[in-house]
Chains A and B, each alone.
Chain A
């Protein structure tokens, strides 16, 4: 899941070196914290959060397959 978020984020931003994802495992939910360069924030969020929403939809689907819940948090 972590690799999935990382791959999607890196494919969207300009500063790929500054993409980092940390995974926090809860009992049933997995929290994926995504950090990108400040100037790339718009590229992972999108207009009205459309890109972030699409990314969350895909990660949610991948998590469901493993019987988990996943939450993607984009951190400043």
Chain B
């Protein structure tokens, strides 16, 4: 990532000088104060310049939107993309008509798009600079989450009734997490995952001597 050091009589002036040198506005950089500086006695004795380091932030929003819209264009898919941020990830909401194609069977195509886009936007970046993205199409993930919650509760009940382990179909880490969280507070079952990615699956297991 591009970063520079700049100096000035005050921190503000040092920042200003740095921004001028980089030719960007203040919202595009991370600022680290290296030396607060010292006005010194009577403004000259023992005075020290303030020093800051400015690092140009990576514009993930633009970068991600660009990659995804290029892919859609090449797939002949007409869709609108809007981006919002959370602490955890960048969320890309895709809307338009006939988008079943980019969701695929049980979200297969959507997950593939999300997986590849994550790799593309983080290409060449250090771990600490990487960002995760999530893509949703017409509220598909939210609806799928509701379906998975319902399924989890239903199968937990079945596992208790029959006293047997129930093995679910392979799911993405994100989807397995929804199952685990849904059943975390259900007293009569345990959940765990088994197998290797991408075939890792959740097992719902009844607790012995309960229920």
Measured CB to CB, the closest approach of chain A to B115, in angstroms, equals 5
Residues of chain B contacted by A65 (CB below 8 angstroms): 75-77, 101
Residues of B87-140 contacting chain A, CB below 8 A: 101-102, 104, 108-109, 111-113, 115-116, 119-120, 123
Give the interface of B toward A (CB within 8 A): 67, 70-71, 74-77, 101-102, 104, 108-109, 111-113, 115-116, 119-120, 123, 196-198
Give the interface of A toward B (CB within 8 A): 3-4, 7-8, 11-12, 48, 50-51, 53-55, 57-58, 61-62, 64-66
Measured CB to CB, the closest approach of chain A to B77, in angstroms, equals 8
Number of A-B contacts (CB under 8 A): 59
Residues of chain A contacted by B71 (CB below 8 angstroms): 4, 7-8, 58
Measured CB to CB, the closest approach of chain B to A49, in angstroms, equals 9
Known A48-B198, A58-B75, A62-B74; contact A8-B101, beta-carbon cutoff 8 A: no
- Pairwise interchain contact B116-A61, C-beta atoms closer than 8 A: no
Residues of chain A contacted by B113 (CB below 8 angstroms): 54, 58
Residues of chain A contacted by B67 (CB below 8 angstroms): 11
- Pairwise interchain contact B75-A50, C-beta atoms closer than 8 A: no
- Pairwise interchain contact B74-A54, C-beta atoms closer than 8 A: no
- Pairwise interchain contact A61-B75, C-beta atoms closer than 8 A: yes
- Pairwise interchain contact A55-B116, C-beta atoms closer than 8 A: yes
Measured CB to CB, the closest approach of chain A to B14, in angstroms, equals 36
Known A50-B198, A62-B76; contact A12-B123, beta-carbon cutoff 8 A: yes
Residues of chain B contacted by A3 (CB below 8 angstroms): 74
- Pairwise interchain contact B197-A54, C-beta atoms closer than 8 A: no
> B-side binding surface: helix, strand, loop or mixed?
helix
CB nearest to B108 among chain A residues: A57
Complex: A8 Cα to B115 Cα, angstroms: 12
Partner of B115, one of A4, A7, A48, A54: A54
Complex: A53 Cα to B115 Cα, angstroms: 11
Partner of A12, one of B77, B102, B109, B120: B120
Residues of chain B contacted by A64 (CB below 8 angstroms): 101
- Pairwise interchain contact A51-B75, C-beta atoms closer than 8 A: no
Contact sample, A vs B, 14 pairs, CB 8 Å cutoff: A3-B74, A7-B70, A8-B116, A11-B120, A12-B123, A50-B197, A53-B112, A54-B113, A57-B108, A58-B71, A61-B101, A61-B102, A65-B76, A65-B101
